[in-house]
Amino acid sequence: MAATIESLLARADVWRAGERHATTPTLASGHRELDAVLPGGGWPLQALTEICHARPGLGELSLMLPAFARAMDEQRWLLFVSAPHRPYAPALAAAGIDLERFAHLRCTTTEQALWAAEQALRSGVCGALALWLGHCDANALRRLQLAAEVGRSLAVLYRPLAHADQASPAALRIALDGEHLRIVKCRGALGEVARFVLRRSPHGVSVHAQAASARVLPFARAR
């Protein structure tokens, strides 16, 4: 029996609550207080990060831009897939994104967007990829997660907040409502804090830990 458990624990896709280490490499988010909490000290690479936001314009993209810019080191690319509007190049350039290695893929259907994202992630060309999706089934998310594991990319999926309650294979899930940022799920347990406040600054956003915050177990839905 003990041997069975040992072999189970050795599996890469099994983790124990309370175990605070990253199973995949990470990339610093550029937000000090967030890095302090995330396992491995940053956004997970080779895994899917899901951001569920209540409405566009909350700073959901600004939150990721420092990491996107850093992910483009070593001549790698940044791809946006089916963004809700056309990305505005001056703002991206100001955030340190090299426009020569940036492209936006406009897709007409969810299937196309998923296909394109999967191809891009598997190719290993992208340092980072952001994908905007509405509804999609768990199977599609699973495929995305698998594709993200292949390339060493920062893969970010943006979805409406309504999906935050649904199951998802993403390694890190974040809910964004108003100025409140909440970590819904995190592979490799979190530190003390799971709630943050997003503050707008002239050059992006800054993330601050919310003072009164209970320790949140992984998977546990706060509130």
Partner 1 sequence: MLWLALQFPHLAIDTRPGAETQTEPLAISEAQGARRIIIAANAAARVQGVRAGQVLGAAQTLCAELKTATRRSSDEDAAMQSLALWALGYSSLVARHGDDTLLVEIGASRLLFGNERRLLQAIAVDLEGDGLACVAGLAATASAARLFASAGHGRIVRDLADLREHITAIELHHGDLPTDTCDALAGVGVRRYGALLRLPRHELARRFGQVVPDHLDTLLGRRAEVIVPMRIAERFRQRLEWPHAIANSMVLLFPARRLLVAAAHWLVACQRSTTRLRLAFAHEDHPDTVIDLGLGQSSADREHLIAVVRARLERLTLPQGCVALTLELTETQALDAPSRDLFVRHGEAPEDAQQLLDRLQGRLGDTAVERFVVAEDHRPEFCVGATHGSRFFSRPTGTSQEKRFFSRPTGTSQEKRFFSRPTGTSQEKHRDPWVAPTTAMRPMFLLSEPQPVAQWPSFDWRRARLSLPERIESGWWDEADATRDYYRLDQTDGARLWVFRNRQAPHDWFVQGVYA
Q: Out of 37, 67, 69, 107, which residue is the one contacting partner 1 (CB under 8 A)?
A: 107
Rounded-to-integer distance, Cα 99 and Cα 77, Å: 9
Q: Out of 27, 60, 183, 185, which residue is the one contacting partner 1 (CB under 8 A)?
A: 60
Q: Out of 15, 24, 41, 87, which residue is the one contacting partner 1 (CB under 8 A)?
A: 87
Task: Tell whether residue 196 is a contact of partner 1 (CB under 8 A).
Answer: no
Task: Tell whether residue 74 is a contact of partner 1 (CB under 8 A).
Answer: no
Cβ atoms within 10 Å, residue 30: 21
Q: Out of 11, 16, 86, 223, which residue is the one contacting partner 1 (CB under 8 A)?
A: 86
- How many angstroms separate the Cα of 60 from the Cα of each of 70, 121, 133, 150? 17, 21, 14, 25
> Toward partner 1, which CB reaches closer, 120 or 194?
120
Residue type, 167: A
With the C-alpha atoms ordered 199, 181, 188, 133, is the resulting torsion angle positive or negative? negative
Task: Tell whether residue 146 is a contact of partner 1 (CB under 8 A).
Answer: no
Strand partners, 157: 50, 131
| Helix/strand/coil (H/E/C) assignment for every residue in 1-68 | CHHHHHHHHCCCCCCCCCCCCCCCCEECCCCHHHHCCCHHHCEECCEEEEEEECCCCCCHHHHHHHHH
> Toward partner 1, which CB reaches closer, 81 or 190?
81
**Stretch of 3-11, 48-56, 167-175, 185-193 lying at the interface with partner 1 (CB under 8 A):** 48-56
**Stretch of 78-86, 142-150, 161-169, 208-216 lying at the interface with partner 1 (CB under 8 A):** 78-86
Task: Tell whether residue 104 is a contact of partner 1 (CB under 8 A).
Answer: yes
Residue whose token pair is 């992910």: 71
Task: Tell whether residue 17 is a contact of partner 1 (CB under 8 A).
Answer: no
Contact footprint for partner 1 (CB under 8 A): 54-62, 65, 77, 83-94, 99-107, 112, 115-116, 119-120, 123-125, 177-179, 198, 200, 202-203
